[in-house]
Amino acid sequence: LSELEALMERMKRLQEDKEDEEASQEEMATRFEKEKKESLLVISGGICAFPVQFSFDDEIVSTDVSRYIEDPGFGYKDFARRGEDHLPTFRAQDYTWENHGFSLVNRLYSDIGHLLDEKFRMVYNLTYNTMATHEDVDTTTLRRALFNYVHCMYGIRYDDYDYGEVNQLLERSLKVYIKTVTCYPERTTKRMYDSYWRQFKHSEKVRV
Residues 93-139 have pLDDT tens digits of: 999 999 999 999 999 998 999 999 999 999 889 999 999 999 999 99
Using CB atoms within 10 A of its CB, is residue 41 exposed (0-12), middle (13-18) or buried (19+)? Answer: middle
d(CA 142, CA 124): 11
Q: Are 14 and 164 in contact, with CB atoms under 8 Å apart?
A: no
pLDDT digits (tens, 9 = 90+) for 160-176: 899 999 989 999 889 99
State residue 55's pLDDT score: 38
pLDDT digits (tens, 9 = 90+) for 81-92: 666 667 788 899
Percent of the chain at pLDDT exceeding 70: 82
Q: Which of 3-17, 65-79, 117-131 has the weakest average pLDDT?
A: 65-79
State residue 45's pLDDT score: 40
Handedness of CA 153, 157, 160, 164 (dihedral sign): positive
The yes-or-no verdict on residue 61 having pLDDT over 50 is no
The yes-or-no verdict on residue 53 having pLDDT over 50 is no
